[in-house]
Structure 1
Amino acid sequence: MSSLISSLAWVKRGAAARHPKKYVLDDRELERVSALARIELEDAKTELARAHEAAKSMGKGAEGTEADDTGEEEDDEDAWVDEDDDAMDQDDPAPKPKDDLSQYNLDEYDDDGPTADLGPFSNIKGLQYYRDNQEDPYITLKEEEEDNEREELEVYPTDNLLVTAKTEEEVSQLEIYVYDDSSENLYVHHDLMLPNFPLCLEWLDFPPTTSSSSAAEASPLAGFGNYIAVGTLDPEIEVWSLDVVNPVYPDAVLGRPDISNAHVPTPLGTGKKKKKKTKHRPVASGWHVDAVLGLSWNRTHRNLLASASADRTVKLWDLSRCSPGRGGDENMEDGEASSGGAIRSFEVHKDKVQAVQWNEREPTVLLTGSYDRTVRTFDSRAPDAGVGAVVGADVEALRWDPWEAHSFYVSLENGMVLNFDARTLPSDLSSAPSSARFMLQAHDGAASAIDVNPHIRGCIVTGGTDKMVKVWNVTEGEKMSVSLVTSRDLGVGKVFAASFSPDDPLTLAAAGSKAKLQIWDVGANFGVRKTFAQKLKQAGKELKEREKSSGGVVGVEDDDEGSERGGGVDED
């Protein structure tokens, strides 16, 4: 796939700085970047000084500054003579008396003196370069230009930010959108370049220890901020500030680069016929050694970030103890954790771990799903006492139910969506698979995305590779039941991400294989309003009944598409 959006994340209203800061590459930032990137700054300065001296010596004659073949050093500059042939033919004439030149004031030739009135150009002393436009007295529109730029970058407290992990023609980046619900306006605010293909995103408000000064200044409150954690095909996790425009390096990097040959697949078996399966990479406890597939930030213990990886491990990171450099010392043995590495490593699965999430009601409990076709839930303080379930297919996504501390949803590669009660799950998965509270064939292809509405109990959204986004109503009683409320092809291609807004009960975002982001106000559908009206009232939420000129779908229009917005028709 040459163009796609693999993941998206909402930023709630009021979390972003109203006036984002412009990135400043000063000495302090250079030192921070050099520490993160493991650049030997002193060596670079030494080489720069040598180059500077070499440039200065370019005018000292054909001999340069190096010693000759005899090993003798150069003469001092004062001992140099003019090698012009005519210069040695005759003696220099006797100098003229000083009085003959005094009338020209040659000693004061370079001094700036009073100048004659030259009309409109009387203040111009010559062409001069100003490092900053603020210092140039002839640029008179500085304040107006700054005001215009400040207004263009302004994020209002009523705006949501959306972050997408986008790859287009082998170029990966984060695109930060601003969404104004009142005016149905969605536009790209700025973007950030990424070093590799992004796989997952997680928003957090906790500033990592290695945050730059510009990011800290952008935060309205000490200890809070507006950050996005990014997992890519690299084994590292990057944390970027969303309140700084056009930064060139992340605020923190968790883990370390894969400097070994572990990224080179090694086939199993011997002889001419090789098995397709490759060897697993050696696991390290202090960092990941393969792609990061899932991230989850702990909203109670705000300094904790959990990550799931293709190296079959789940790792726990302390954002308050990030080292200045990358986590993990190259000289340490595998299995040892460094001061800047992961604080815990869990090996609870036998294959790639696709997804991970903290339980908001029990903030020490983790839920994980893997390609070994199992899900696990365990307390991070005692992982050996966890429970789990066999689901019968590769796990695509999972979510805790925010309305029930013990309930969670799982979406699978075969299009199924399951709901489990963690209290009934066994600790031994070798026994018969545990029965789910309900099983739903949600999509014809893989059910690649799922989310649970934080405002309306029993409202979930799923997205699949069949290009459909579906909203479901789950009702509880003697037996749980689930029914389809509405579905739509939003024109994003195969759906890889679908998520409810943190502020509006019936607004969701979806993205997929066409590298497009679409906002869908499902409240524009009469069937949705009728189904969830009572639940909204019980939750103390008011349903906004307003006409949507776009039929409830808002996106960034392409020049080629004109007024087309998310094709397809609602299915009531």
Structure 2
Amino acid sequence: MDIISSLVWIKRGAAKATPIKFMPEQEELDNMIDKSDHNEDETTKDVDMDDEKRDQLDDQEDDEDNIFIPGVGPIAMHASNRDDPLLEIKDDGEDSDAEDYFIRPDDNLIVSAHIEDDTSSLEVYVYNDKEGYLYVHHDILMLNMPLCLTWLDYDVNNSNAVNYIAVGSMEGVIELFDVDLVDQLEPLYTFGKKSKKKKTKLSKKTSKKTNNNKSSEGHDGAVLDLSWNKLVRQIIASSSADATIALWDLSQMKMALHLQKLHEKQIQSICWHPIEAQNLLSGSADRTVCLVDCRDANNKTSQHRWTFDSDIEQITWNTFDTNQYLASTENGYVYAMDIRKTTIPVFSLSAHNSAVTGLCLSSSVPGLLVTSSFDECVKVWDIDNGNVTFIAERQFQTGRINTCLANPDFPFTFAFGGQSKGLQVWDCSENSNVRSRFGSRAKFEMVEVVNETVSTVPIVSSFPTTAPTVTSAVLKAQRKKLSKKNK
């Protein structure tokens, strides 16, 4: 298994120009040194080499330092290019590596949650839209399997701007990492709890040793989505396979509210309203979308609900019309709903042949919608004023696409992650149809490039009637892995 389960863009200027390398405290260093010395002593006991063997090894090393090529003579191997008198260019490549370490003001970062067999990590990419480079700057090893990410710049203990990533895991834990900190060994904070286990006599003793930053409350299932409230900046919402939503107060490092009766099945996507800080939208495998006023969340009169005929995969607000949200389903449909109305959609769209796991609007071009799916396709649509038009299509060699997200600074750039080939970035303005359709709405001049082909136009229709059976795109893949382990 080699999956990118989630990703998040970080806007230009949010990262430190020079990331900080983590240095452990002296006590931690002493412990590491003690362990290293112990391992060396054990190695010395196990390996007993006589003088003759050592001399033979020394002779072999001398031979390796001088390579003989017929007709050429010996070639000396130097530790550094600067020591080689035959080389006019003494560059070791160190300047290039050092340059790659710094983050430029016009760089974006992309953080992807990468799951490869039994190993999980966060990979921090540097992307520059103008220069066209993309590379991994550093990675963060994860003990828990990451399923969802969200970015935030809030820290109650730090008055300066921060660059944090919240990670929701398969184990039901939410961890907070500093993206500007390289080689960090553990998260800054941990919220929630792992799956319930049988109580033991040592439970009281172990609870005293628990990290002060770790909460004893939270989800009993996998965390499937996270959403940071940009208007009330100390609040993060999390949704889970246990069919609940939790609101976490970062100023007090604890859970502020636990919503347990909004949905009957796992909640796969959540999203805060862009201008009304109290309103939270949620989409579930029970085929419903719910809008709740978190000031009085348990009051049913503060809840508005829409029912569809297939599991909800993704939801997002239309930032160009805040009375409208978009929802995608497991059977390949996308809906636009007006929250002031009940059941009639603004439009319904048969977008893909499989689960629509990516649903994102351009950051600044009205009407530009990009969808991605388990059918391995990415499609571009124009949904301006509720009139849906198919614009372009591209197929990536990523297998099933799990996630799609728009660049916050460049309106035509999108990132994708699937089950192979790693992270993919696409500037859809490379397509002539996209340029001609949205060029007049863009805030910058678009460059002419080679044309791309377009497939047939999909159908815009009313509510579908097929009944899906798959519950969650990413969760299904994770369950498959767990079932293999249990066998």
TM-score (norm 2): 0.73
Residues 8, 451 of structure 1: alpha-carbon distance in 2 compared, 3 angstrom cutoff: same
Task: Find the counterpart in structure 2 of residue 513 from structure 1.
Answer: 419
Task: Find the counterpart in structure 1 of residue 466 from structure 2.
Answer: none
What whole-Å deviation, never above 9, does each CA across 1:309-360 have from its counterpart, x for those lacking one?
11111110011112xxxxxxxxxxxxxxxxxx31001121111111111011
> How many aligned residue pairs are there?
379
Equivalent position to 1:179, from 106, 121, 127: 127
How much does 1:169 deviate?
2.1
Equivalent residue of 2:290, what SS? strand
CA distance in 2, matches of 1:146, 1:316: 46
CA distance in 1, matches of 2:347, 2:100: 49
| Residue 345 (str. 1) matches residue 258 (str. 2) | yes
- Bigger Cα displacement from structure 2, 145-154 vs 4-13: 145-154
Equivalent position to 1:318, from 239, 244, 249: 249
| Residue 293 (str. 1) matches residue 224 (str. 2) | yes
Q: Which runs of 5+ in 2 are unaligned?
A: 39-91, 200-214, 457-487
| Residue 473 (str. 1) matches residue 382 (str. 2) | yes
Equivalent position to 1:246, from 171, 179, 183: 183
How much does 1:498 deviate?
1.1
How much does 1:505 deviate?
1.2
CA distance in 2, matches of 1:285, 1:247: 24
Root mean square deviation of aligned Cα: 2.6
| Residue 359 (str. 1) matches residue 273 (str. 2) | yes
Q: Is the contact between residue 363 and residue 409 of structure 2 (CA under 8 Å) also seen in structure 1?
A: no
| Residue 235 (str. 1) matches residue 172 (str. 2) | yes
Residues 147, 487 of structure 1: alpha-carbon distance in 2 compared, 3 angstrom cutoff: closer
Task: Find the counterpart in structure 2 of residue 168 from structure 1.
Answer: 116
Q: Is the contact between residue 285 and residue 345 of structure 1 (CA under 8 Å) also seen in structure 2?
A: no
Aligned runs of 1:261-410 on 2, under 5 Å? 261=198, 286-322=217-253, 341-347=254-260, 348-383=262-297, 384=299, 385-410=302-327
CA distance in 2, matches of 1:490, 1:198: 23
Aligned runs of 1:82-231 on 2, under 5 Å? 150-207=98-155, 209=157, 222-231=159-168
Instruction: Give the aligned residue type for 1:437.
Output: V
Aligned runs of 1:496-511 on 2, under 5 Å? 496-511=402-417
Q: Is the contact between residue 19 and residue 150 of structure 1 (CA under 8 Å) also seen in structure 2?
A: no
CA distance in 1, matches of 2:396, 2:181: 31
Residues 342, 484 of structure 1: alpha-carbon distance in 2 compared, 3 angstrom cutoff: same
Equivalent position to 2:338, from 402, 417, 421: 421
CA distance in 1, matches of 2:408, 2:379: 18
Instruction: Give the aligned residue type for 1:374.
Output: T
CA distance in 1, matches of 2:145, 2:382: 35
Residues 292, 177 of structure 1: alpha-carbon distance in 2 compared, 3 angstrom cutoff: same
Task: Find the counterpart in structure 2 of residue 454 from structure 1.
Answer: 363
Equivalent residue of 1:342, what SS? strand
Bigger-Rg structure (1/2): 1
CA distance in 2, matches of 1:469, 1:569: 13
How much does 1:495 deviate?
1.0
Identity %: 35
Instruction: Give the aligned residue type for 2:399.
Output: G
CA distance in 2, matches of 1:181, 1:244: 24
Q: Which has the higher strand share?
A: 2
Instruction: Give the aligned residue type for 2:264.
Output: K
Q: Is the contact between residue 178 and residue 186 of structure 1 (CA under 8 Å) also seen in structure 2?
A: yes
Task: Find the counterpart in structure 1 of residue 390 from structure 2.
Answer: 484
CA distance in 1, matches of 2:376, 2:423: 13
How much does 1:208 deviate?
5.9
How much does 1:543 deviate?
3.0
Q: Is the contact between residue 290 and residue 310 of structure 1 (CA under 8 Å) also seen in structure 2?
A: yes
Instruction: Give the aligned residue type for 2:280.
Output: L
What whole-Å deviation, never above 9, does each CA across 1:455-502 have from its counterpart, x for those lacking one?
0111111100110001110131xxx22111111012222111111110
CA distance in 1, matches of 2:279, 2:8: 22
CA distance in 2, matches of 1:178, 1:354: 28
How much does 1:399 deviate?
0.2
TM-score (norm 1): 0.63
What whole-Å deviation, never above 9, does each CA across 1:167-217 have from its counterpart, x for those lacking one?
1122111111001122211111111111132111101111265xxxxxx6x
